[in-house]
Amino acid sequence: MKGDFITTSFNHVLGWARKYSLFHYPYVTACCGMEYMSAACAHFDLDRFGAGWTRFSPRQSDLLLVVGTITQKLAPVLHTVYEQMTDPKWVIAFGTCAVSGGIYDNYAVVQGIDKIIPVDMYIPGCPPRPETVLDGLVKLQKNIQHQKQDWRWKK
């Protein structure tokens, strides 16, 4: 067909590819882990949204799911895991305890993981429903699609 062509930007194509190829690292510490498992299982299926490949090495993942309560003792470990992840990287705070410390208003619990690492998406709830998890994932994917993609080789 003469004259038919597709025009787009490399930034748009790279954003589309990144949003559907998320390799997540679950940092599960508390009861929200059950809801994470149900969101990843067949009934809700994170894989439909391009985030089904669970990686248990931070060096192979670009999405950190912080699921549950983070204590002051675990905070340095969480920061180390975040630093070891590949760039670009995104973080989801999963559940009320990760978002704001939850019911634990004391010196031993971090009152929100955004005091340790930058957070891209907050999923509220105690525990959050799997539908809420999927909604948060879709919103994060939309943010990934529309952000400026850094694709240059770094030495």
CB atoms within 10 A of CB 26: 21
Q: Assess if residue 128 is contained within a domain.
A: yes
**What is the extent of the structural domain holding 135?**
23-144
pLDDT surpassing 60 at residue 7: no
Helix (H) or strand (E) holding 123: strand 121-123
For residues 137 and 46, the answer to whether their CB atoms sit within 8 Å is yes
For residues 15 and 149, the answer to whether their CB atoms sit within 8 Å is yes
Q: Assess if residue 71 is contained within a domain.
A: yes
Q: How far apart are CA 33 and CA 29, in angstroms?
A: 7
Q: Assess if residue 149 is contained within a domain.
A: no
Average pLDDT, the chain: 82
pLDDT surpassing 80 at residue 65: yes
pLDDT bin (cut points 50, 70, 90) of residue 1 is low
- pLDDT tens profile 99-125: 888 888 888 998 989 999 999 999 988
| Mean pLDDT, range 70-98, rounded to an integer | 90
Domain count, the chain: 1
For residues 132 and 106, the answer to whether their CB atoms sit within 8 Å is no
pLDDT surpassing 70 at residue 74: yes
What are the structure tokens assigned to 101, written together? 């410390």
Give pLDDT, residue 153.
62
Q: What is the CATH number of the domain that holds 72?
A: 3.40.50.12280
Q: Output the CA angle 141-95-115, nearest 5 degrees.
A: 85
Q: Assess if residue 7 is contained within a domain.
A: no
Q: Assess if residue 91 is contained within a domain.
A: yes
- pLDDT tens profile 12-53: 777 777 777 788 888 888 888 888 787 777 777 776 676 667
Name the pTM for this structure: 0.83
Q: Nearest CA to 120 among 84, 144, 100, 97?
A: 144
pLDDT bin (cut points 50, 70, 90) of residue 154 is low
